[in-house]
Amino acid sequence: MKTAIWLYLFLFLAVFDLHAQYPILTPFAISLGAAPTFIGWMMGIYSLTHLPGNLIAGTQIDKHGSRRYIVFSLLGAGFILLLQAYVQTPWQLLALRSISGFVLAFLSPACLALLAQLSSDPVKQGKYMSGHGVVHTLASVVSPAAGAIIVGSMGFSATFSGLGYLLILTGVIAFMTMPRGIVKQQERVTEPAKPDASPADATSAFLPVSWRYFALPLVIACAQGILFFELPLRGGGQSSIMSTGLLFSIISIGALFTLSMLFLNRYSPKLRLVAGVLLMSLCFFVMAAIPQVPLSTVLFVLGMSKGIIFPAMATLFIRLSGGSKLGRIFSLQSIATSIGSFIGPITAGQLRVGLSPYFIAFLLLMIGMLLLPYYTSRREASLSDPKSILN
C-alpha cells in the first residue's frame, strides 16, 4: 500500500505537469508562426514517437520492473521542457515534442503494470485501477486552468521552465523513495502464474487477447486527439487561453464525477466499456450536429464517459491477460493509444474545413465499438477468471 501511495503522488505531479500544457501548446505554436495544419502534425508526431518507446517498454518492464522507467520518463520529460522554454521556431518545437513523445512512452505502461502487480487479487487490482483514475482525474481537473493562469502571469518560457523543474523534482523523489526490491516483488507475483508454460505459450503471451480489444483505445485516443486539437482553435483560434483551460478542466470534473461512483465497479468491465464509449460517441455527435447545446455541458458528459471507460478498460485487460505479461499488455494498449493520438489531430487539421472533425470522431468510436468482441473466446476465458469477467 505504501508503494501505491507513493506512485499515486508521482502520477498526480506528472499528470498535473503534462495536462497543464494542453491549453497553452497551441497558442504557443501560433505565437511562433505555426499554421493549424502544422500544429496538427506537431501534436501527432508526439504520439507517433510513442511507438518505439512502447515497443521497448513492453518487454523491458516485464524483465526489469517499472521503477527505472518511471524515473527515466519523469527526468527526461523535465529536461525537455526546460529546453522547450527557449525554442524560437515551430520546427524546434516539433523536434522537442517528438523527443518528449518517446521519453514519456514508458511512463503509462510502467505505472499501470506496477499497480496491477501490487496484488494478485482481482478486487484489489480493480481498486488500484480506480485509484489511478481518481488521481489522474484530480490532477487533470486543476492543471489546465492552472497552466492558463501561470502563462497569463508569467509567460510561456517561465511556465515551461517551472513545469520542467517540477517533473525533474518528481523524478528525483521517485528515484529516492521507490524501493529497489520492487522488481523482485513483481517477479514473484507474475512469474509463478504459468510454471509449466510451453514455448508456444511464451510466443503467444505477447498478445494473449484478441487484437480487436485494442481497436477501442486506438479510436478513443483518435477522438481525444481531435478534441484536444479543436478546442483551442474554436472561433478561429481567437478564444482565450483561460477559457480553453477551463473547458479542459470541465472534462476532468465530469470524469471525476463518474469515478466517484464506486458501485460501477460491481458491473462487468466490458459492459462499462461499451456504455462509456457509446456515451462519448453521442457527445461528439452532439458537438457536430447540434451546436446549440452548451459546450460546457457536452464536455462535462464527455468527461463522465472517460471516467467510465478507462478504469473499465484497464480492469478488462488485466482479467483477460490472466495477470501475466502485464508490461506487454499495457504497452500494446499504449501503442494503440499512440497511433490514435497521431491520427486524430492530423486528420482534424487536414479535414476541418470541409467536414466537422467531431463527426469523424463519432464515426470512429462507433466503428471501434462494433469491433469489440462481445463473446469471450475459450482461450481468453482460460486465461482469465470467468467469474470475475461476468460479475
pLDDT at 380: 53
Residue 57 has what pLDDT?
A: 74
Burial pattern 3-19, b for ≥16 Cβ within 10 A else e, equals bbeebbebbbbbbbbbb
DSSP state of 355: S
Predicted local distance difference test score (pLDDT) of residue 59: 72
What is the three-class DSSP state of 173?
helix
Full pLDDT tens readout for the chain, 391 residues: 677 777 787 778 777 777 777 778 878 888 888 887 787 778 778 777 877 877 787 677 777 777 888 888 889 989 999 999 899 998 999 899 889 888 887 887 777 777 777 766 666 766 776 677 778 777 777 777 777 788 878 888 888 898 889 889 888 988 887 766 444 444 444 444 444 444 434 334 445 667 888 889 999 999 988 888 888 776 554 456 677 778 888 888 888 888 788 777 788 888 899 999 999 999 999 999 998 899 999 999 999 998 888 888 888 887 777 666 666 777 788 788 878 888 888 888 777 666 788 999 999 999 998 888 866 555 555 545 444 433 3
Q: What share of the chain is helix, strand, coil (3-state, %, to 5)?
A: 85, 0, 15
Give the pLDDT confidence score for residue 197 in this predicted structure: 41
Number of H helices, E strands in the chain: 19, 0
From residue 62, alpha-carbon distances to 35, 221, 386 in Å are 42, 25, 25
Angle at 322 between CA 317 and CA 326, to 5 degrees: 60
User: Which pTM value belongs to this model?
Assistant: 0.67
In the prediction, which pLDDT does 238 show?
Answer: 45
- The residue assigned the cell 479510436 is 219
Residue 192 is predicted with a pLDDT of 42
Q: How far is it, in rounded angstroms, from Cα 172 to Cα 175?
A: 5
Please return the burial class of 128, using the count of CB atoms within 10 Å of its CB with bins 0-12, 13-18 and 19+.
Answer: buried
Sign of CA dihedral 59, 64, 66, 70: negative
- Taking the C-alpha atoms of residue 106 and residue 313, their distance in angstroms, rounded to an integer, is 19
Phi then psi dihedrals of residue 179, to 5 deg: -65, 140
Rg of the chain over all Cα atoms, to the nearest angstrom? 20
Cell numbers at residue 211, please?
Answer: 487484437
